[in-house]
A = this chain, B = another copy of it.
Amino acid sequence: MLTEADEEAPPLTEPLLNNHLQFQLRRSASNTTSQVAIVGSNVCPIESLDYEIIENDFFKQDWRSRGKIQIFQYIFMKWSLCFLIGLFAGLVGFLINLAVENIAGIKFVITSNMMLEKRYATAFGVFAASNFVLILFSSVITTFIAPAAAGSGIPEVKAYLNGVDAPGIFSPWTLVVKVVGSIIAVSSSLNIGKAGPLVHTGACIASLLGQGGSKKYGITWRWIRFFKNDRDRRDLVTCGSAAGIAAAFRAPVGGVLFALEEMASWWRSALLWRAFFTAAVVAIVLRSLIDVCNSGKCGLFGKGGLIMFDVTSENVTYHLVDVPPVLVLGIIGGILGSIYNFLLERVLRVYNLINEKGYAYKILLACSISIFTSCCLFGLPWLAPCRPCPTDAIEACPTIGRSGNYKKFQCPPGHYNDLASLFFNTNDDAIRNLFSKGTDTEFHHISILIFFVTCYILSIFSYGVVAPAGLFVPLIVTGAGYGRFIGMLMGSQSNLNHGLFAVLGAASLLGGSMRMTVSLCVILLELTNNLLLLPMIMLVLLVSKTVADTFNGNIYDIIMKLKGFPYLEAHAEPYMRQLTVGDVVTGPLQCFNGIEKVRNIVHVLKTTRHHGFPVIDEPPFSDCPVLSGLVLRAHLIVLLKKKVFLPTPVLTGTDITKRFSANDFAKRGSGNNDHIEDIEVTEEEMDMYIDLHPFTNASPYTVVETMSLAKALILFREVGLRHLLVVPKTSNRSSVVGVLTRHDFMPEHILGLHPFLIRSRWKKLRLRPASLTKLF
């Protein structure tokens, strides 16, 4: 049987009851794949989630006893929680935008005013110092309060939805630090986004609501404690991540599709509906709040704020002749995106080494990136020539005394610095400037090139800092610069305006790095509010994704791998067809008798870290050894805690279940489980017995040991299992051979057991770009 945290298990000293089963072990090697992963910048043990319905007698009794009222209550609670998730995600999304626009806005207004007075050095000082203080604050709270809040959080949520439960990612403190840290970090002009953190925030809200608050911090609500298993929580977290994107981009349909395409590993039609409802709530909340802001009550949060670029309210016209430039844009965008992924991975590896050295190093790293960024943002606009204000500008030019377009910077009156209006602005404003049409003459192509290159580099170096940081917005802003530059190079050869090129450039870079299609397309459409762009954006996304897929994988998968999450892919690797389940099952296997001695249970629980144990009925309770089912560690601990012991080994019947309520067996939020060490059992009780039958899942999924590994993986993944029992092919041996867990399907484990596969062509096939095996 495989352990999830095997390295801590001491060697067995006392002989166990089911010792005779050991002869079945093919191999005594234990699973050496990662049982720990990097969460935030700390290394943590990882647990799997269990999506199987544990059908034991107790569950069936509980199920039968549920009246119609309880069922309706359950459904009602599911919808209410979705409503609450949408409401909170919308409020938080709005809060983040409002705060960023105001904090960053005030900073820009103050420095701009100093620039007007030609106090350039002071302006730089104030600008750099405020950025420094902001990022210092953000990285300090992240490091010391909630390291799991660092980064975008999307890889963590994606792994959670795949069944990997990293501790702390959904704790209340993570939520607080994520929101506050994200506001501060984005305000510090670092080239990072707020979309990723919002997805994590949405998932966090969903998880906390789903488990009825946090017991650890005493914030609990009894009346929402309806969701006692991982399945219900998974659904809520999926809705939460949809709400996050919906709130970040005011893109409800895009949010649902993002959750579906990128985040979720399991999906049902009912879930689509609930996610859609959650996103609709977000959209309505944002709409109402923006109505309030439009009357001018939100400070510097003007019409912009929540990025929504009405790029082209008139009709866009394009014809087949415009397709070739768009193809070129997509191809180069795909290449740039895959290079981006490659470089980001390298940078993150280096950062990991630095971060490992200690807290001071982490914070120092963040601060140096901030200083470097400040220098770039303040220094580079000096390279750009001043341009005369357009005579027909709708906005005041140059902009004075408020955040906006046409930054004056160092220019004489009646002129503006085009590079400063990109650099010396929030990312949202920069994107809006780049996306807007009728601005073909506003920027010089050298300025755009400088902007694109700087953003590309800054976004690679900024992501890894110890603060909440997203990837969406940096990629959009960089891609918009790239698209506009290509548009300028095309010049009169294309009918498309440069704003449109910027949108397509953003699409190409997003597609090249994130490798999503439908969701990115819809998000961009909802951002630009122009459905006529659809065929063009589709085309560019398909091209850039295809090109980039030939080089490397999706950025979130790269980060997930770097963090060591045991993510279970939906498709089997080709070499898995050549192996059987028996080839990967490892030992030692721990079983229990149907009626087991307390001493044995306590001993096994203390000496192993297994989370599920096969239960075997042996004579005299059956004619021959028969597999009775699977019992979970968590349930055993409940039994020990309640002390439902028998003086002699006899069958108890189902009466015993009446001593328990469904809540006793409810799965708590992560980190709140009881541990075997906390349970005290007297020496007398040690010699008593427990009848495990009523608490054993009598319908565990099983595979025969000769089953091909690929097919076992499909079963494991599609049904969402945590433990898969392996039974022998012939009946003359004992009734169970081993237990497969998530880790047994990890390529590292399999290739470790069968090194010859690395040399075979099956391994080579595996090393082909991920896309090819996926397609296959």
Contacts and interface: CB of A to CB of B under 8 A. Distances in A.
B78 A775 contact: yes
A283 B774 contact: no
Interface stretch (A351-359, A400-408, A700-708, A739-747): A700-708
A293 to B, nearest CB: 14
Interface string A461-473: 0000000000000
Contacts of A570: 268-269
Interface in A740-776: 772, 774-776
Contacts of A718: 718-719
Interface stretch (A177-185, A207-215, A524-532): A524-532
Contacts of A517: 272-273, 276-277
Q: How many copies does the complex hold?
A: 2
A280 B715 contact: no
A303 to B, nearest CB: 12
A23 B28 CA distance: 41
B577 A535 contact: no
B272 A55 contact: no
Interface centre among A267, A320, A538 (most CB of B within 10 A): A538
Interface string A241-285: 000000000001100110011000001111011001101100110
Interface residues of A, number: 82
Contacts of A735: 731
A672 interface: no
A698 interface: yes
A493 to B, nearest CB: 19
A676 interface: no
A14 interface: no
Contacts of A270: 774-775
Contacts of A776: 71, 74-75
A277 B542 contact: yes
The majority secondary structure among interface residues of chain A is helix
B772 A71 contact: yes
A531 B531 contact: yes
B521 A276 contact: yes
Interface string A646-665: 00000000000000000000
A55 B719 contact: no
Contact of A578 (B60, B535, B706, B732): B60
Interface string A70-101: 01001100100000000000000000000000
Contacts of A17: none
Contacts of A276: 517-518, 521, 538, 542
Contacts of A75: 772, 775-776
Contact of A732 (B71, B252, B571, B623): B623
A535 B287 contact: yes
A268 B771 CA distance: 13
Interface in A132-177: none
A526 B531 contact: yes
Contact of A261 (B269, B711, B732): B269
14 contacts: A63-B577, A71-B772, A71-B776, A253-B525, A253-B534, A261-B269, A273-B545, A288-B320, A522-B522, A580-B699, A624-B731, A699-B706, A701-B715, A715-B715
A322 to B, nearest CB: 11
A74 B699 CA distance: 40
A732 B731 CA distance: 8
Given A78-B775, A577-B55, A518 B711 contact: no
Nearest to A706: B698
A14 B75 CA distance: 56
Contacts of A518: 253, 256, 272-273, 276
A531 B538 contact: no
Given A60-B578, A288-B320, A699-B708, A253 B522 contact: yes
A542 B280 CA distance: 9
Contacts of A320: 288, 291
Interface in A666-712: 698-699, 701-704, 706-708, 710-711
Nearest to A702: B704
Contact of A280 (B280, B319, B538): B538
Interface string A700-738: 011110111011001100110000000001111001000
Interface centre among A580, A624, A707, A775 (most CB of B within 10 A): A775
